[in-house]
Amino acid sequence: MSGAGETTSTSEVDVVFIMTELIIATTNQGKLLEIRELLSAMDLKITSLADYPDAPRIEEDGKTFSQNALKKAATIALYTGKLTLGEDSGLEVKALGGRPGIYSARFAGPGATDKKNNLKLLRSLRGVPLSKRRARYRCCAALVDGRGIIDVVSGQCAGLIALRPKGANGFGYDPLFFLPRYKKTFGELNPAVKGKISHRSRALRKIKKSLQQYLRSPL
């Protein structure tokens, strides 16, 4: 017990800083790695659905990317009561009427691999010249906590669908997504460059602003 007149120096006081947890509502390791990198400068403890194995399964039955992103975020935020980021993204090809769109991950069927999806895309565009293979990657991201919706944002990146896959970087349709400005596919592009120009990076830059405001706001 301290005697009268004794003081406790500030150096003897333990200051505990509790980092805010942000759950990324995905099981896709490629997306998770990119999101972690894009948000790496923020004071956040980033987790994913792998850390919540008992979380409810989310059926992506929305008609738009934003609906799917919001459903993912809201479902996990309600289940955990924690800050959650839901993201949905995909490829839209003009010559295919915007397909595969929200079905990008399962273009070749339920549980399809990236390779099978890429092969189906190439078959669907057989005979179409490069100049008519215009496409865009789109991403929608939703930020939700236990109290409600914080923000829903989007980003996109335009390019062409290459005649054959090139490069081993990235995931999904990256080996086929060709950017004329760089004369490379996302699969060939340096990940640091992709991290500045991709649909996901453009959406996440907007989310970062919302996160900064959220972290500054009083509880």
| Beta-bridge partner residues of 178 | 160, 185
Clarify whether 88 is annotated catalytic: yes
Contact 140, 83 (CB under 8 A): no
Pairing of strands 84-93, 20-24: parallel
Kindly name the residue from 88, 145, 151, 174 that is annotated as catalytic: 88
Peptide bond into 165 cis (omega under 30): no
Length in residues, the chain: 219
Residue 107 buriedness (CB in 10 A; 0-12 / 13-18 / 19+):
buried
Annotated active-site positions, please? 88
